[in-house]
Amino acid sequence: MEKIIFYILSATILLLSLFSVTSRRLLRSAVYLFGVLSAVAGFYFLIGYHFLGAVQLTIYAGGIVVLIIFSILLTHEIDHQMEQPGLIRSLGAGALCFAGAAMMINLLANNPFQRQELAEQSDINTLGTLLLSSGDGGFCFLLN
């Protein structure tokens, strides 16, 4: 069942991100972006990171997309269509996308991924000590 949900979320993200980039209407692009960010939150819920899923929905899918929609509505006419890009620009963008995909495939194919051991379980006291320490793996917050 999890595999089916994973594939549905993946297909949703791929399709809506493609629609968001290729749509000529700004408001539709923002709505498609909302769908993409909501599907990413679905991934977080699927792997059990409920807090991150809620943060994704609240901050990104909720707040930022609403901000984008308001800025579109306040600065542009809602029925305004974007210009069709020229042939040279489209070919250049396609070549850059192809080069980026080729580099990513090359990197993934030639990288010897190492399997890492699972981290030992820790409690909130250990986590707090590590976050407030300046040692290895810690963050030092300096107050002047």
What's the pLDDT tens digit per position in 76-123? Answer: 666 666 678 888 998 999 999 999 999 999 998 998 877 777 667 777
User: What predicted TM-score, i.e. pTM, was given to this entire model?
Assistant: 0.58
Q: Ranked by mean pLDDT, which of 9-18, 51-60, 63-72, 80-89 comes out on top?
A: 9-18
Check: CB of residue 140 under 8 Å from CB of residue 133: yes
Question: What are the structure tokens assigned to 73, written together?
Answer: 């509505």
**In 76-112, which positions are buried (b, 16+ CB within 10 angstroms) versus exposed (e)?**
eeeeeeeeeeeeeeeeeeeeeeeeeeeeeeeeeeeee
Q: How confident is the model over 37-60, as pLDDT tens digits? A: 999 999 999 998 888 888 888 888
pLDDT of residue 11: 96
Q: Is 118 helix (H, G, I), strand (E, B) or coil?
A: coil
All structural domains of the chain: 1-80 (1.20.120.1200)
